[in-house]
Structure 1
């Protein structure tokens, strides 16, 4: 391994412009589908998201003079209808926003919260053992107070240009008139996720003749349209107060394992607005979500990779992928141990991202992958208990640039596929509280950083990202769904863009390699045989990935316009004007 000095923050903040070199194409063995979503550059504005209907809705808002945040509201409303397995009104989100005029990046936190009455024993059996995950997933106690709409309302009040009620028009029309079920939604409807067999999902996805809807069928959801009209008229209160809020509480209180959510929990929800977590990466600045998000782990992984010579390698070089894998494992070990809601636990962010600590972690990369690495001991770090969090997937990501150059990068979720499988007002409720540690205490009684507590937000992997040059001009926006694999998906996309100089579509289509603990998995068929053999020689034997696929979406500044990339593993596109 070749180590290099980490660039100084002061240098990265100096006023000079970075011009990206001409893009190259990835030489990895990607299938023909890897070109899906390829677009010609757009001179003014662009949207990249996991469904064409959502992209078109966002572009409609932008063409009408709306801001990137205005478009984000409509994009989320449409995705909640046509991709309900991934996100929706009943879920949460993280957003980073770039203001082109001030060159400032702001982070918005719409993560769900536990009810005030929640205790560390929320997912414990009577004998103290952790509850089986499946029963917790489908229970009323899995649902946290939804935060995505409140977060969008906060960001839109800060940066919007269009009237709030106008931002739900396309979604309400699709819900009323009907929409064609997309391939990925059709697969989830007829998939093996237990939520798809839950009573509410069965009722929604069953046709009058008793058969299930499939891709290509037309599906209507008038209840969703009614909910959108209420939110359009009343703002977040239309969801978090009044009849819909009462219905949410009632639905979570049903069943053998009822939740403890109250109307007061919903009404008192507040999103968070903070400075983004920005750190240098070679000649760029990477900004991502802060707090309990996946931004800390992603930044640590990037900081470790930045000490290597990966920028002198190519996507076909197994050593580059080995460096990604080892950096991922080291960063995951720290993230899984230290990260929790900063309102409840002390996050050693400065210690985890300090250059000397990153260099110590990078020195552990070695030449062959060994046993799972342990967490490190950064400066001023607490000593929480051992974590036992299970993180399923069920998330989406989109990026938007408006005509003024403002940028939204947003990852949004209902947690698992179709959330808890329970519906209210035409949308699914989240199961976000299962992102807490099911074993909240170590044998000595020390609580895990991600233990349950009333009002606490569970740790997240979501890490929407915006990349700037040294003068803080916009370079790219990226992010991905994927549950705990988000960190790995985002890492390889950013390395692809900045180190391997790929175009946006090639970076989005790169194979995935998820390395966490003793597990190595990924898109085994998409790697060239020589790359697979080189990884095996370095102690990494890939097995097919059985987790949620990536959904990387990218907008990259190229000259005076934008190019987009849409992950071929989903239904998305990148379009602009």
Structure 2
């Protein structure tokens, strides 16, 4: 793909002292807002570069790295390390991530998804012949996968990084040592989580003696994490995967008091981040590039959009209740059909063959036209069946959905036109509810993921294997959908976007793309619109955001509708026609966009 790069030679000369003597992190001038709940945000316009992340302190770290001459990958490393500290409920070095990267010439997909330990079996979450209750599986050593975020970032940085690896940790180390003000979101997450209180280290660090979480605005330091990040900064990712920090991680997993896991030091030391071929799909005037399996995000998003394109064109559901219900019906029915395919076919490609040997067959226009033809005026409810995009050597059963909440997203475009979209996760809020201090004996640390609960809890259904069953070394299927968008004619970058939200990531991303392309919404206005989702059964609409007549009309069409909070965390940066950037941060979370 072609792209006109910004001339940064003069900028590079001006910043030469920073390259020579190291990046100097300055105290941030932004803090998370104390308020909570939904509130429209205005969006941010920048002329040269932009970074959008889920917490202002993390955004500021990326911004400072970009100002110092770092590129998009450099900024992503700094942002993730700060998120590990200030948003421990959502992501961190104890989890996994997918990163889409564009260097002005090609798109790359970096896979840092967790893997199952070598000792697991398909019965991992079966106890006395029955699947464990979801939260019993989550808050345990059984759920912890081998983390991949750090090795993935190191792999991407080794190829594309501009500033030295060690200086990118300075913002997070400084904030961990000097402290940061606890935000409303972190406080609320702590207050609402009973399982985290059961972990001795987490309870002592985040709660007082009476079980009350650390207060909003209180300064929180994290000495253990500072020490861990200092080791990683100087030694590289090996500091997490071998030696004392690795031994501590394995010890925490193997000594869980209720359900210990089987992770070993060999599991950690043998982990490999991967580079995969991205999936780039034509969609009207755009080409949308996303992550291939083990993520189901891109395929399912593009199936929904492809089926919608075959439906009668309806008025944009922005101000008119009748228009809302008509388009929403199409969107929800497309989602049901796409999720039926997702549950049957998509899993780690090292263990499961794509239908017909090619994942793109699930996005073939003729196939999506045949699927879209199944959409009628009434809802099909939970009766949507998977289609047949191509033959497989093994027939698979479908997998039921589980919730997921502990995820974050960042989008970055640097001054040279390099771009990343990175979705990063520990799966549930606070992951497995285990804090690891790296063996430092200091207060704090980082959260361990529970990504293995993204596998099917049952290995077979009616005698057929489930594609996303637990197997040794396997990467659990994900819904993460980091997305880069290009203009088909010019090849120029149009946007970077993505969201947390578990399986609902797919709906959030698909709706945002429609809003930006079909409804002419800018990067922020698209995020401000209300959400509606279905995983194949009931419909959930964002509480208090839809007119009563819209909800009633959906019910008359046969949808079972419930209002609930749908806390996405979308981040979007869009390149405007004049070449400037306009960024949006989800109003449901505390993120911001910064840039020059």
1:31-62 per-position Cα deviation (integer Å, ceiling 9, x unaligned): 995432x2441000001111110110000000
Task: Give the whole-Å Cα distance in 1 for the aligned partners of 2:315 and 2:282.
Answer: 18
Kindly indicate whether residue 427 of structure 2 is the aligned counterpart of residue 409 of structure 1: no
Find the counterpart in structure 1 of residue 408 from structure 2: 396
Find the counterpart in structure 2 of residue 4 from structure 1: none
* C-alpha displacement of 1:199: 2.6
Kindly indicate whether residue 300 of structure 2 is the aligned counterpart of residue 297 of structure 1: yes
Kindly indicate whether residue 326 of structure 2 is the aligned counterpart of residue 319 of structure 1: yes
| Range with bigger deviation, 133-142 or 313-322 | 313-322
Secondary structure, aligned partner of 1:41? strand
Task: Give the whole-Å Cα distance in 1 for the aligned partners of 2:373 and 2:210.
Answer: 62
2:479 aligns with one of 444, 450, 461: 461
Find the counterpart in structure 1 of residue 126 from structure 2: 124
With the length of structure 1 as denominator, give the TM-score of the two structures: 0.91
* C-alpha displacement of 1:193: 5.0
Find the counterpart in structure 2 of residue 371 from structure 1: 381
Native 8 Å contact 1:94 1:462 kept in 2: yes
Find the counterpart in structure 1 of residue 522 from structure 2: 503
- What does 1:63-74 align with in structure 2 at a 5 Å threshold? 63-74=67-78
Find the counterpart in structure 1 of residue 572 from structure 2: 554
* C-alpha displacement of 1:352: 1.1
Find the counterpart in structure 2 of residue 176 from structure 1: 177
Task: Give the whole-Å Cα distance in 1 for the aligned partners of 2:204 and 2:462.
Answer: 44
* C-alpha displacement of 1:545: 2.5
Task: Give the whole-Å Cα distance in 2 for the aligned partners of 1:340 and 1:383.
Answer: 13
1:395-419 per-position Cα deviation (integer Å, ceiling 9, x unaligned): 0111001000111101101111101
Find the counterpart in structure 2 of residue 26 from structure 1: none
1:453-504 per-position Cα deviation (integer Å, ceiling 9, x unaligned): 0000001010111110012210011111001111111111111111111011
In structure 2, relative to structure 1, the CA distance for the partners of 1:192 and 1:308 (3 Å cut) is same
Task: Give the whole-Å Cα distance in 2 for the aligned partners of 1:567 and 1:417.
Answer: 18
Kindly indicate whether residue 429 of structure 2 is the aligned counterpart of residue 428 of structure 1: no
In structure 2, relative to structure 1, the CA distance for the partners of 1:311 and 1:238 (3 Å cut) is farther
Secondary structure, aligned partner of 1:475? strand
| Range with bigger deviation, 377-386 or 350-359 | 377-386
Kindly indicate whether residue 350 of structure 2 is the aligned counterpart of residue 330 of structure 1: no
Find the counterpart in structure 1 of residue 66 from structure 2: 62
- What does 1:451-530 align with in structure 2 at a 5 Å threshold? 451-470=469-488, 471-530=490-549
* C-alpha displacement of 1:88: 0.6
Find the counterpart in structure 2 of residue 269 from structure 1: 271
Find the counterpart in structure 1 of residue 8 from structure 2: none
Native 8 Å contact 1:200 1:421 kept in 2: no
Native 8 Å contact 2:39 2:587 kept in 1: yes
1:135-177 per-position Cα deviation (integer Å, ceiling 9, x unaligned): 2111111100000011111111111100000101011100100
Task: Give the whole-Å Cα distance in 1 for the aligned partners of 2:547 and 2:37.
Answer: 14
| Range with bigger deviation, 114-123 or 319-328 | 319-328
Find the counterpart in structure 2 of residue 204 from structure 1: 205
Secondary structure, aligned partner of 1:95? strand
Find the counterpart in structure 2 of residue 24 from structure 1: none
Secondary structure, aligned partner of 1:265? helix
In structure 2, relative to structure 1, the CA distance for the partners of 1:541 and 1:150 (3 Å cut) is same
Task: Give the whole-Å Cα distance in 2 for the aligned partners of 1:214 and 1:442.
Answer: 47
Structure 2 runs not aligned, ≥5 long: 4-35, 438-444
- What does 1:222-301 align with in structure 2 at a 5 Å threshold? 222-254=223-255, 255-293=257-295, 294-301=297-304
Question: RMSD across aligned C-alpha pairs, in angstroms?
Answer: 1.9
Kindly indicate whether residue 121 of structure 2 is the aligned counterpart of residue 138 of structure 1: no
Native 8 Å contact 2:197 2:211 kept in 1: no
Task: Give the whole-Å Cα distance in 1 for the aligned partners of 2:210 and 2:219.
Answer: 14
Native 8 Å contact 2:294 2:476 kept in 1: yes
With the length of structure 2 as denominator, give the TM-score of the two structures: 0.88
* C-alpha displacement of 1:534: 3.6
| Range with bigger deviation, 306-315 or 327-336 | 306-315
Task: Give the whole-Å Cα distance in 2 for the aligned partners of 1:268 and 1:557.
Answer: 40
Native 8 Å contact 1:288 1:464 kept in 2: yes
- What number of residue pairs does the alignment pair up? 544
* C-alpha displacement of 1:309: 4.2
1:294-337 per-position Cα deviation (integer Å, ceiling 9, x unaligned): 22211211221222344753434222222211111111111011
2:40 aligns with one of 32, 35, 58: 35
In structure 2, relative to structure 1, the CA distance for the partners of 1:209 and 1:459 (3 Å cut) is closer
1:80 aligns with one of 74, 84, 90: 84
* C-alpha displacement of 1:541: 4.6
Secondary structure, aligned partner of 1:140? coil
* C-alpha displacement of 1:357: 0.8
Find the counterpart in structure 1 of residue 19 from structure 2: none
Secondary structure, aligned partner of 1:142? coil
Native 8 Å contact 2:196 2:203 kept in 1: no
Native 8 Å contact 1:387 1:440 kept in 2: no
1:165-195 per-position Cα deviation (integer Å, ceiling 9, x unaligned): 0101011100100000111111011114523
Kindly indicate whether residue 547 of structure 2 is the aligned counterpart of residue 537 of structure 1: no
Task: Give the whole-Å Cα distance in 2 for the aligned partners of 1:250 and 1:296.
Answer: 38
* C-alpha displacement of 1:203: 1.3
* C-alpha displacement of 1:201: 2.1
Secondary structure, aligned partner of 1:526? coil
Secondary structure, aligned partner of 1:96? strand
In structure 2, relative to structure 1, the CA distance for the partners of 1:296 and 1:193 (3 Å cut) is farther
Secondary structure, aligned partner of 2:427? coil
